[in-house]
Structure 1
Amino acid sequence: MKVAVVQLNTQDDLEKNLLQIGDLIDTAAVVHGAELVALPEYALCLTGRRDCAIAHAQVLDNSTALAAIAHLARKHHVALHLGSVVERGTDGNLYNTSVAFGRDGTQISRYRKMNLFQTAKPEWANSVVHYEAGFLSTGTSVETFELEGMTFGNSICFDLRHAVHYQKLRAMGAEIILCPSAFTSLTGERDWQALLTTRARETGCYMVGANQCGSFDDGCYESWGHSMIVAPTGEVVVECQQEPGVISTDILERAR
């Protein structure tokens, strides 16, 4: 399976973000020949501002933005993993939720982030993305999904620091684990690659890390970039740098 990772520099403008996503999915499908395209955490809107995050929260069964993503899946006949969005649940709570789409645009998987980020920096305590525990509700279910004969595991960003999550995914049969992220530059340089390679070796799975890059909220915060796909051996197969773009590899071919 040809898997592509899209690295984004998402901002708080939903329409502009959808245009960026559309352009890079076009590249992933047409130039790279991807069969599955993975996007980062907070792909549709990345902001620390609570009012903006609430305004752009998505009701998963009634969202024009998700309909646009589904259209891209159908247009290119590719599976898409929408890294995550702020979901407005039917229970009235807000969640950080991944949504996967099949090649026909139908939603085939949802996962609500189970380990919410809590910054140790007091100056970031009011930021949605840096103090999720004060804004979002916690998911309660480890989730996998089947796609073309392979089992994919769901995780999001801060889950990476919780090895037991990945042990559960492996026990559920996961072969490829997706980890959409908005890893900060502060910790990304130190921990991002180390965590992905460790989880790959521990589980014997491919790790697909789609990360945000660049600054957002008028330069207040910065994401690390360096999206990568890591083999079960811990080898970094392919890696972005710190600009938006697309990387890809044929995972089945490498496994043979």
Structure 2
Amino acid sequence: MRAALVQLSVTDDPEANLPATLGHIRAAAEAGAGFVLTPECTGCLSSSREHQRRIFRHEEEDATLAALRDQAARSGVWLLVGSLGLLTHDGDGRFANRSFLIGPDGAIVARYDKIHMFDVNVSETEVYRESAAYRPGARAVLADTPFGRIGMTVCYDLRFPHLYRRLAQAGAEILTVPAAFNHLTGAAHWEVLLRARAIETGCIVLAPAQTGFHAEVHGKGRRTHGHSLAVAPWGEVLADAGTETGVTLVDLDLSQVARARHRVPSLGHDRPFEGP
């Protein structure tokens, strides 16, 4: 299976962002990719809660999702939409940060709502409280495809290894980590965490990312790390997209999963222990 990591640098205007995303998906399919992955916040990246309330839609009404489903069908590819911000029917009015796996017929095969919220103090000038606007998901998700079983995660989930271990022990062979990783934490932690998750689980890790400075009409903007990565089960980096937008191709060999797990079968070595 040839996979394609789509690296984007979106603004806070979903309508303006969509043509480039669709073009990258078409280009990936023309290059032979059967599995195309986009990053977290594929539709838009906005720091303004008021703007998000104006532009976000419920899943069934979201124009970006509809267009991406149509493009997956037109191109005949499996498409992981890294995530979209969506309205929910929750009483507190918070949004969902939802990842979608779309089949080559355009049907939604699986949905995953990001579990871990990015509530951090990166620096004195960069403070994030994702949970103030987004409600966390509560369910881990596996999805079956003809080329392997996929465990779906999003961005900040990467720092919680127990989630990935559970997914791998339940049968995941490929882990998806679409992200809009902060440029400061990304430079320090992005690659090493992705490689660790691959090594710990014996999975292939695919992590499409946002990159560069994201201009906002209705906010101050932000900067993301880029470097979409594909990592083998033994920990080797198979592909690194650098910091430019575009498509990065990688050929997946699922037999590597079985080989890595045979060499170090740690997924079956859990032991009960006491304390702390």
TM-score, normalised relative to structure 1: 0.93
Q: Distance in 2 between matches of 1:148 and 1:58?
A: 31
Q: Which residue of 2 aligns with 1:94?
A: 95
Alignment RMSD (CA, Å): 1.6
Q: Which residue of 1 aligns with 2:232?
A: 231
Structure 1 alignment gaps of length 5 or more? none
Q: Distance in 1 between matches of 2:124 and 2:131?
A: 14
Q: AA paired with 1:179?
A: V
Identity among equivalent positions (%) equals 33
Q: Which residue of 2 aligns with 1:182?
A: 180
2:125 aligned with 1:123: yes
What displacement does 1:122 show? 5.0
What displacement does 1:254 show? 7.0
Q: Distance in 1 between matches of 2:88 and 2:124?
A: 29
Q: Distance in 2 between matches of 1:209 and 1:195?
A: 11
Q: Distance in 2 between matches of 1:89 and 1:172?
A: 29
**SS of the residue aligned with 2:40?**
coil
Give the conservation status (yes or no) of the 8 Å contact 1:6–1:40: yes
Q: Which residue of 1 aligns with 2:44?
A: 45
Q: Distance in 1 between matches of 2:73 and 2:235?
A: 33
Q: Distance in 2 between matches of 1:29 and 1:221?
A: 30
Deviations 1:177-211, CA, capped at 9 Å, x for gaps: 00000001111111000000000000000000111
Count of matched residue positions in the alignment of Structure 1 and Structure 2: 251
2:214 aligned with 1:213: no
Q: Which residue of 1 aligns with 2:273?
A: none
What displacement does 1:132 show? 0.4
What displacement does 1:59 show? 1.3
What displacement does 1:142 show? 0.3
Deviations 1:95-116, CA, capped at 9 Å, x for gaps: 1110111000000110011100
Residues 70 and 191 of structure 1, relative CA distance in 2, 3 Å threshold:
same
Give the conservation status (yes or no) of the 8 Å contact 1:2–1:35: yes
Residues 195 and 72 of structure 1, relative CA distance in 2, 3 Å threshold:
same
Structure 2 alignment gaps of length 5 or more? 260-276
> Bigger radius of gyration, 1 or 2?
2
Q: AA paired with 2:225?
A: W
What displacement does 1:217 show? 3.3
What displacement does 1:64 show? 2.2
Q: AA paired with 2:19?
A: L
Q: Distance in 2 between matches of 1:209 and 1:250?
A: 14
Q: Which residue of 2 aligns with 1:203?
A: 201
